[in-house]
Structure formats: C-alpha cells, structure tokens
Copies of this chain bind each other. A is one copy, B any other.
Amino acid sequence: MAYPVSPLASPFPALPPIAGVTARVVRAGYKDWGRCDLTYVELDEGTSVAGVFTRNLCCSSEVELGRANVRQGKARALVVNAGNSNAFTGYRGREAVEQIMGQVSAHLGCPLEQVFVSSTGVIGVPLPKDKAREGVDKALTAQPCTWEDAANTIATTDTFAKGATASAIVDGKTVTISAIIKGSGMIAPDMATMLGYLFTDAAVEPAFLQECLSAANLRTFSCITVDSDTSTSDTVMAFATGKAGNAPLASFESAGADAFAAAVHDVCRQLAHLVVRDGEGAQKFIAVTVSGAVSDESARKVGLAIANSPLVKTAIAGEDANWGRVVMAVGKAGEPADRDKLSIGFGGTWAAREGLPLADYDEAPVAAHLKGQDISIEVDLGLGDGQATVWTCDLTHGYISINADYRS
C-alpha cells in the first residue's frame, strides 16, 4: 500500500560518507514486493557503539539482544530487515535473529555480540529464516550503496527517505555524523516502527557515546509523538569508527566533547523532526513549548499531554485556536499546574494569561499562524524555571484512513 508523500516532506540531504562505514542493500523478499528490504552496514574494527531502545515491555528479540549487547561497547555490523518486525514471535523469532548474527560474525570473524539486528514491519510472524539467510548471503558481498538507498531500504510505510548530518571540530579534526531514520511516528508496530542510526568517524569511547546519545534522546526522540502509541521495536543506535583520527573522546572533560555532543544532539533533533513530518496523516508540524514548569521533566510531561491530546491535534487540523483544549490537556497531565497562573499562546500571540482569556485578544495573527504548516503552541505554567519543547503533528482524516480503512 502506498500513501501520498507527506506535505511536510523534506528532500533527502547530501550526506557525507563516513570512513569505516560501508552500507549495502539487497532484496530478501520479506514481503511480496520488488524493492530492497535488507540493509547491511559493515563497520571497521574498533567501532564504538551506543543505543537507546523502546521501553515497551513486549519488545522484540532484536531489541532484547541489542540492549544486552550494546553494553560491551563495540560493533562490526548492523542488519536491518524491513517488512517484518519479528516481534511477538517467541523462540522462533529469536532463532532468526541469532542465525543472522551467527552468519555475519562468521563472515567477519568477530564476536557474535558485535552484530546488531533490527526488524520493522508486521508483528507476530516469525522472520523467515531461509529468506534472511539468502538475503544476508547476498548482502555480504553486494556493491556498496548510497545513504539514500539505505534510508529507502529500512523504510516501510514512510512516505519519504529521511537523513541528517552535522559536523564538529574535535581535537583539531573535523568529525562528521551521517544518519538515517525510518518511521511515521513512535507508532504502529506492524507498520511504522521508528529505527534510527547515526554513523560518525569520530573516535569516541563507548560509554561517552552512550552518554551523548542518551542525553540527546531525552530532548529529541523522547519529545516527539504522533499518536501516543509506543512501538515494540523502536531503536536508535550510534556507531563511531574513529577514522577521523582525533584523540578519543572519553568524557565531557575531553577537548571537543561539547562540540561533538552538540552535533549528536543536532542530528537527533533533525531525525526526530523528520519522523514527525512523516506522521501518519500529518498536515501540520506542531511545536509545543512549555515554560514555567517546576522542572524540565515536568515541562516535557505537560508538553506530551498536550501533544498527545486528540482534541488539541484535531483543533490544529481544523485551524482552530481552541486554547480551552490546551487548558484541559495541561490539567490532565497530572503535573503541578495552577489554573490561575496558566498562560497559553499560538505563534507567539497570547490568547490567555494567568488563568483568564485576554480581554484585548486579537485573533487575526493567530488565525493567520494556524493556516500555515509550522505551528507553535506556547504554554507558560507560571510556577518555576522548567522548560521543554515537544513536537507532534495534527490528527486528520488521513490518520483514520491509513489505520482503519483496510483489512490486514
């Protein structure tokens, strides 16, 4: 099933190659389609790895193994299967993942736990071992491909290929990050798992790479939502080959660590925004900024309550400055809030301040803002210094059409 390209789509950017990283794509035929659906990324020896994984308790074997194996800190390969998430498939699903890990580790002569696997697509169907074996066999020796090929191959119901890049000066060397992601939200486990991968030539100790990725994740991927449904397979990983030749980054004490962490954050934010821009049925990109909370985490939770509210999302779809629905969402978040200190605005114009609708509220600039594609909602809780920005899309007939108007 093909959907029209999101009206919020961005063209695929020019992503620099990363020394020590080679991607290849082939068709394993996990579904009855003509496209490539297996991505194999080979990483030079010495590559550091870090990862963040879904907190869904019904996660896939890929996630379980990835979460366990990322702790040893090194990676030699990544395999991504598209068209079958292999989630909720019990021991048979796990066997398929272990087969892939064994096949690749034998080829590279590396420990099993340095091979990482992700899968995305239909749930409850064990990944076919024969197709996986043939696919991996072909992939090990296929021609290298472009980043855009890889971004297209990890995709499922995405309507456009998604990539991002950033660079930083570390220890006098330019280090580069190229990254790809797939997902139409943190949503349907059978069609739109979010999988993201960052590749960098920087030399980074695994623990510090994990620290940078976890910190970035908290302000980027953990701050987006399409429909509040958390996938069973969500995965974001970072791989650092060290080919840039900088003195390895080991902590924020290392020279250039701040610049590298900022580049990781920048790439993660770009990727997170791209996922929202491909949110199922999305017509508008919405940034919800919450300030005046008792803490940053409290601000994030209030922001997510607003961003997950079907009534707020449908109001934005209808270009309706319905701040009453924002009030409702703030109140249901369960975080400290005081109705009589609450202020709400759209596109920089306050509609209500300190618990009261503005007497001289001029709706014209707000109405003009809401007609656009990039919408901002500002909420000031008036309690403290905590702040966060959360990103989402509107809820439209397109979402219902994609998710209800068919039989699986």
A contact set with B: CB distance below 8 Å: 55-59, 87-90, 122-125, 187-190, 227-232, 308-311, 314-315, 317-325, 327-334, 337-340, 342, 352, 355-357, 394-397, 399-401, 403-408
Contact = CB atoms under 8 A, between A and B. Distances in A.
A404 B400 contact: no
A317 B400 contact: yes
A87 B324 CA distance: 9
Contact of A403 (B89, B125, B310, B352): B310
Contacts of A88: 324, 327, 339, 342, 352, 355-357
Q: How many copies does the complex hold?
A: 2
Across the A-B interface, the 3 shortest Cβ-Cβ residue pairs: A58-B331, A123-B324, A314-B403
B403 A90 contact: no
A229 B305 CA distance: 9
A86 to B, nearest CB: 11
A187 B406 CA distance: 27
A324 B189 contact: yes
Given A355-B88, A356-B90, A400-B397, A227 B320 contact: no
Contact of A404 (B125, B229, B314, B401): B314
A90 B397 contact: no
Contacts of A338: 57
A331 B230 CA distance: 8
Contacts of A397: 397, 400-401, 404
Contacts of A408: 315, 320-322
Contact of A318 (B87, B327, B337, B406): B406
B57 A229 contact: no
Given A330-B58, A352-B88, A190 B325 contact: yes
A331 B231 CA distance: 9
A333 B396 CA distance: 25
Given A324-B88, A406-B318, A331 B124 contact: no
A283 to B, nearest CB: 10
A324 to B, nearest CB: 3
A356 B308 CA distance: 31
A312 to B, nearest CB: 8
Contacts of A58: 327-328, 330-331, 337, 339, 342
Given A228-B308, A311-B229, A319-B407, A328 B189 contact: yes
